[in-house]
Structure 1
Amino acid sequence: MGVFTGFGSWINQNSQEPLKAESTRSENGESKSASEKDTNNAPAKKKKKVVIYYDEKEDMRQERLWHKAEKKHPWRNPPPKIKVTNKKGLYHMNIELTVGTTPNVVYYVLTDPKGGPFFDYKKWRDIMKNTSRKVLKENGPKRVIMVEKALAYNILSLTTISIPIHLTMEENRKDLTTNYKKGKVILMKEFHGNYKVEPIYVDQERLCKKRLPKSPEEYKKCSGGQGRIGSKLTINHYFQPYPPFNIPPLSWFIRGNTIKTSKKLLNGIQELTSSFRRAGPPSEEDMEASEIETVEVHNFLKI
C-alpha cells in the first residue's frame, strides 16, 4: 500500500510495508547514529512535504483512544447496509458503513494513490487496484484526478477476469467527499456516484449523557476528552449496463455480482482499520523517522 498523508509511517507499518530503519549497519555490525553519519558527510535525505487539512495531533490522540479501548473491549465491525433500487433501468446502490476509526483515516484509505487495501488473501489477488493515476487540477483541498483501476470480476464462480475502469474523480480532502464519473467502463452505459465520510460520536450516550454534541469540539468537551470518534461512510453508486446486459437474466447477474464485489471492498476497509486499532498510532520516534513532513492548512483562499 501507499503512503497516506499524515499517517505515512503508521499506515505503511500496518499495511505490510515496513518502515526503513533509522540507522544503518556498518561492516562490523554496529549501528551508526545520525550524528555519526553527518560527520561522514552523508547527505541528509530531504523529507517530502505534504499538505493536510485536519488537526493531525487530534487524530493521533483519537487513535490512542481506539487502541486503548481495543485491548479491553474489541470493536465489532457491523455489516454494511446495502440497498439497491432500479428506476427505468438505472440502478442506484446506497451503502452505509460504520468504521471504527477517525473519518480522516477512512477517507485517506479510500483515496490511497495505489488503490486501497483491496486484496483477497484467500485467493492471493487484488480485488481492485490503481493501474494509473494523474492529478489534473488542484486547488487547496480540492483536486480532480483521472484514474484507471483494475477490478477483479468473478464470472459465475468459474473464472475471474480483470476489468479496466477509467474514472474522473473530484476529491475534497477538507469535507471528506468525492464525486466520480466514468471515462470508460466496459459493459456500462452509466457509471457514476459519490461518497462521503462523516464523524460518529461512539461514546456520546455513555459519556455525554443527555447532551448530544453537534461537533467534535463539543464532543471532546462533554466526554472529558475520552470519547472516541468513529466514521460513517455513505456511498451512492449509479450504474446502467448496455444492452443486452440490461435485460434479465444478464442484468440480474450484473446486479448480484456488483453487490458481492462491493461487500468484499467494504470488508477490506474494515479489516485494515481493525489492524490500526490493534497496532495503535506511531510513536514520536516513528513520526520523526518518517520520510513525510506534514503541513497543516486550516484556512485557505479559494481561487
Structure 2
Amino acid sequence: MIGKVQDLGAEPFHADHRWFYYLWHIPVHGFPWTVLGVLGGLMLFRRYPGRSLLIWSLPLILVALLTVYPTRTHYYTVQLYPWLVLLAGVVIDQGMLKWRERGMDMRPTIHLAQWLSRGFVVLGILLVGLGVASLVGVDELEPLSPHALALLGMGICYTLLPLIWVWRHLLHSPASLWVGSLYLASGIAMISVVNRADFGNHNPALAQLGQSWDQQVITLDPIDQVDIGRSGLEDVCQAQAYAFYTPRPGRLVGDEALLADEFGLHLWLSPVQQERYEPLLTGLQPVIELEGWQLMERIQAVLPEVTIDPVLSDLELEPNLEQDPVPAP
C-alpha cells in the first residue's frame, strides 16, 4: 500500500484540497458513527491493546496514508467506514453489556448508554427541526425537502433514546428497545437515500442519453462500438462515466492514439482533447454535444456516381455478328 501511494503521488489528481481535508471530511460525513468509532478505538486500546491491534491500528494507518497522498477525493474514504462501524459497534455492545449486567439498577452512577442518549437527543432535536422546516417549505432548506419525512423519523428515533433510558424500569427489554431505536434511525436514513431518483447518478443528462441512445443519437450496427477519448487525469472521471452509459463502449483513446487516428467509426471526444487537438483532426463530424463532450463520427468517403450512356451500354452488350468467325485450329 505504501508503494502504491508513492507511485500515485507522482501524478496528483484533485490536489487542491489541503492536508487536513480528511480530518474534517471523515467526521462530518460519518457522523455520528465516526464519533462512536473513535470512542470504540480508545476503549479497545485501553483494555485490549495487543489483541485488538489490527482493528484500531489499520484505520489509523489508512487515514495517515490518505493524508500523505496528494490526491484527496471524497470517495477514497469509503474503505474506512466499515472499520468505523466495527469500532462503533464496540461502544454499543459494551454499553448494552453493562446495562444487561446491572439490569434495573437505579443507582446514580453515570452509564455509557446514558452519555450516548444525551448526545443523540441533541442530534434528534436538530433533525426534527430540520424535518419540520423542510415540510413547511423553508426556501433555504429546499434541497432537504425530499428527505423531510426521513429527517423527522430519524429525529424521533434519536429523541426516544433518553426516554427509554429514563423509563427503563417500566419497559420490557429496554436495552433491546434502545438499540432498535438507534438502528431504526440508520435504516430510515439509508432507505431515504437509496430511494432518491438521482441516487448513484451524478450525471442525469448522460444517463437519460444512454437510455434512449438509438432514438436520440445514432443507430449503430451490432459490431459498431463507440470509443472514449481520454487525455489524462483531467478527464478520467468523465471518461469513465461516458464509457459506463454508452451502450457499446470501445477502447479508451489517449492523445497519442487520437493523433495516430487509431479509433473506430465513432468517438467521444473530451473537452480537453477538443481544446488541444481539434484543429488537427480531420474526417470527423459532430453528431451530438453533451456537457462539453462531442460524439464524433467518421465522414465516410463517398465515391462519385458514374453515369453510363444506355445507348453505349446496349452496343457493348450486343454481339457483333458481322465479324468473321474465328477459324478453328
Pick the TM interval, shorter chain.
under 0.3
- Structure with bigger helix share is 2
TM-score (norm 2): 0.19
TM-score (norm 1): 0.20
- Structure with bigger strand share is 1
Determine which structure has greater relative contact order: mean sequence separation of CA pairs < 8 Å that are 6+ residues apart, divided by chain length: 1
